[in-house]
Amino acid sequence: MTRPLPALPLRFQRAAAAGLLAAVLAIPALSGLTATPVLAQETPVKGGVLNSIVQPEPPTLMLGLNQQGPTQTVAGKIYQSLLTYDQKLNPMPSLAKSWTVSPDGLTYTFKLFENVTWHDGKPFTAKDVVFSTNVFLKEVHPRARAVFSRCESITAPDDYTVVFTLKEAFPAFLQSFEVSSAPMVPAHIYEGTDFRANPANATPIGTGPFKLKEWVKGSHIQLVRNDSYFKPGLPYLDGITFRVIPDAASRSLALESGQVQQTQYSDLEPFEVPRMKTHPNLAFSTKGYEFVAPMSWLEINHRVKPLDDKRFRKAIAYAIDRKFIRDKIWFGLGRIPTGPINSVVKFYDPKVTIYEPNLDKAKALLDEMGLKPDAKGVRATVKIMPMPYGETWTRLGEYLKQALGKVGIAVTLESTDAAGWSQRVANWDYEITTNFLYQYGDPALGVARTYISDNIRKGVLFTNTMGYSNPKVDALFAAGAREVDPAKRQTLYSEVQQILSDDLPVVWLLEMEFPTFLDKRVKNANTTAIGVNDTYEDVWLAAK
């Protein structure tokens, strides 16, 4: 399965030759060519409606205002950003047909496609890009705010050129134009309004290949093809329907019986996956999540003794068997992590301290700390609050209780719901919890935030809630974010990975993989680093 070539190569290679990042940019063109196997002979047919699931039902489809997972999957068909990314995380054209980066890494110039229109017929121009990045997203979008506030200026020299000038070099900038990171929103609708209260939020206007036709709350969201999409002949599909199916068992039934042709992210519980994999009509893949590249870990509050002692955290790491967790709790979904960076993310380095299961080492470390077993064999008691994100996380909590019990760490499990969990973790009111964060393709975007001391901010989720602080780590992440030379960046990030794997601020559990199931009739889907969140402009349905 591949994206059709016409959209890619010529303009794109010109851009690559012009840009300094030629080495990096050449890869997608190559992979676009090499990944053209058997299926390329099949001729796409027009028509048909793809049925999928949206779960949980999002509050809104206005992607600029809400970046919840399900919002992204649906709204990724309605809205677009300047770029998308191949599965090696190299940028590819979306609304921008080409781009260049100045040698000092300070100026990014994007050329836009010229015949793009919004769903209401108004032309999409550089003015919309400047408004989106400089005004709208900066006001309402947390991740985009962090990225675009690095800009000295954002200007539009003409209708189809946008120039971003950075205050200091930030090579991860090119990874920031994925559709949920920087969705383009129409200036003519939002300019000068109260963005969150704008009535247009109920009827999203994007540039994408699909438009919202109907959203019956609690039932389904129906998208239909955008006949004036800027790529002639696309999209192939007449529409996409996302059904709201709140019960996990019913979702499996829907997929199994062919009532939906696609499931993604956490639609299916991991224990359903082995059974679905044997279904003759379904294709299974864990690709398409390279951009989010989730990493899960045991989050440990360093403000609580003895959790502040890295020997204790190492004892935990030796006491648990992550292969067991992956195989028996996640039913084979995921990879065993080595350090803080997911192995599909740039600058990953496997040369770090590795923790294989070893109960003797764990006990020795606890002995060294002076934590001797009492009459009941208990050395220390900790509270673990598993994430309230479904059955699997609860099972993980139960496993941890058993595993840590074996080395004399008694575990009290605490239960909570999503709101309570958020409240307690953000306010550091926990001892150990499980957590997972997306890494967004670059350590500067998705990894550093968890470990740098600047990001210890009470009341805010997904920050350095552990309270870990190491000036060396801070300095390395800061230098890595600025360094333009990829080789030098690698050196910086390799060093930080070594330090973190020894300090062990958290115990990494799993590089999470999500299962995507597609009916074998669905062609060309799930080809990029954002997989099911991409536009589906060239997805088509083969005849039954």
Partner 1 sequence: MLGFAQLFASRLVKALAILIAIVVMNFFLVHAAPGDPAMVMAGEAGAADEKFVAQLREQFGLNRPLYEQLATYVGKIAQGDLGFSYRQQRPVWSILAERLPATLILTLTAFALALAAGVALGTLAAITVGTWADSAITVVALLAYATPIYWIGLMMSLLFSIQLGWLPAFGYETIGAGYTGLAHAADVAQHLVLPVVTLALFYMAGYARLTRASMLEVRGQDFVKTAKAKGLTPTRVVTRHILRNAILPVITVAGIQAGQLVGGSILIETVFAWPGIGRLAFEAVLQRDYQVLLGIFLVTSVMVILFNILTDILYGLVDPRIQAAR
Judged by CB under 8 A, the number of residues near partner 1 is: 57
State the nearest-atom distance from the C-beta of 129 to partner 1, in Å: 22
In the bound state with partner 1, the residue whose beta carbon lies nearer, of 145 and 188, is: 145
Interior angle at CA 194, CA 134 and CA 186, nearest 5: 50
Q: In the set 150, 220, 311, 335, which binds partner 1 (CB under 8 A)?
A: 220
What number of residues does the chain have?
544
What Å distances lie between residue 407 and 316, 324, 326, 354, 509, CA to CA? 9, 17, 21, 19, 18
Whole-number Å distance between alpha carbons of 333 and 286:
8
Q: How far is the CB of 214 from partner 1 (least distance, A)?
A: 9
Q: Nearer to partner 1 by C-beta: 292 or 500?
A: 292
Which of 103, 278, 280, 419 is in the footprint of partner 1 by CB under 8 A? 419
Q: By CB under 8 A, what part of segment 48-67 binds partner 1? A: 49, 56-57, 59-60, 66-67
Among 73, 84, 98, 222, binds partner 1 (CB under 8 A): 222
- Please identify, using beta-carbon distances, which residue of 145 and 328 lies nearer to partner 1: 145
290 contacts partner 1 (rule: CB under 8 A) = no
Question: Minimal distance in Å, beta carbon 257 to partner 1?
Answer: 5
35 near partner 1, rule: CB under 8 A: no
Contact 75, 204 (CB under 8 A): yes
- Rounded to 5°, the CA angle 416-511-323 comes to 90
The answer to the question of residue 459 lying near partner 1 (CB under 8 A) is yes
From the list 280, 417, 471, 543, which residue makes contact with partner 1 (rule: CB under 8 A)? 417
Question: Is 394 among the residues that bind partner 1 (CB under 8 A)?
Answer: no
Q: 284 and 276 in contact (C-beta within 8 Å)?
A: yes
264 is an interface residue for partner 1 by CB under 8 A: no
3-class secondary structure per residue, 34-84: HCCCHHHHCCCCCCCEEEEECCCCCCCCCCCCCCCHHHHHHHCCCCCCCEE
CB-based contact 344:290 (threshold 8 Å):
yes
Q: Interface with partner 1 includes 350 (CB under 8 A)?
A: no
- If residue 489 lies in a helix (H) or strand (E), which one and from where to where? helix 486-503
Q: Contacts with partner 1 in 463-522 (CB under 8 A)?
A: 463
Q: How far is the CB of 213 from partner 1 (least distance, A)?
A: 9
Near partner 1 by CB under 8 A, which window of 280-288, 306-314, 315-323, 416-424?
416-424
Is residue 202 a contact residue for partner 1 (CB under 8 A)? yes
Based on the shown chain and the rule CB under 8 A, indicate whether residue 423 belongs to the binding site for partner 1. yes
User: Shortest distance, CB of residue 147 to partner 1, whole angstroms?
Assistant: 12
Instruction: Name residues contacting partner 1, limited to 104-123 (CB under 8 A).
Output: none
| ∠ Cα 440 442 445 (to 5°) | 65
Is 254 one of the binding residues for partner 1 (CB under 8 A)? yes
- Report the Cα 31 to chain-centroid distance in Å: 22
Rounded distance between C-alpha atoms, residue 223 and residue 200, angstroms: 17
Residue 281 found at the interface with partner 1 (CB under 8 A): no
Q: For residues 493 and 446, give the distance between their C-alpha atoms in angstroms, rounded to a whole number.
A: 13
Q: What angle do CA 343, 346, 349 make, to 5 degrees?
A: 55
| Per CB under 8 A, 390 contacts partner 1 | no
Binding to partner 1 by residue 437, rule CB under 8 A?
yes
Is residue 245 at the binding interface for partner 1, with CB under 8 A as the rule? yes
The H or E element spanning position 437 is strand 432-437
Stretch that binds partner 1, among 413-421, 472-480, 487-495, 534-542 (CB under 8 A): 413-421
* Residue found under tokens 């609304």: 95
> Three-state DSSP class for 161?
strand
Candidates 196, 76, 80, 58; CA nearest to 139 is 196
Stretch that binds partner 1, among 195-203, 278-286, 299-307, 323-331 (CB under 8 A): 195-203
Tell me if 201 contacts partner 1 by CB under 8 A: yes
216 touches partner 1 (CB under 8 A): yes
- In the numeric block, the tokens 């402009």 are attached to 537
Q: Which is nearer to partner 1, 6 or 59 (CB)?
A: 59
Q: What mask, x for binding partner 1 by CB under 8 A, covers residues 135 to 154?
A: -----x-xx-xx--------
CA–CA distance, 421 with 406 (Å, rounded to integer) = 27
275 is a site residue for partner 1 (CB under 8 A):
no
Cα-based distances in Å from 90 to 22, 29, 97, 413: 11, 10, 14, 42
Q: Give DSSP secondary structure letters for 247-290.
A: -HHHHHHHHHTTS-SEE-TTSS-GGGHHHHHT-TTEEEE--S-T
List residues binding partner 1 (CB under 8 A). Answer: 49, 56-57, 59-60, 66-69, 140, 142-143, 145-146, 196-197, 201-202, 216-220, 222, 239, 241, 243-247, 249-250, 253-254, 256-257, 259, 416-424, 426, 437-438, 449, 457, 459-463
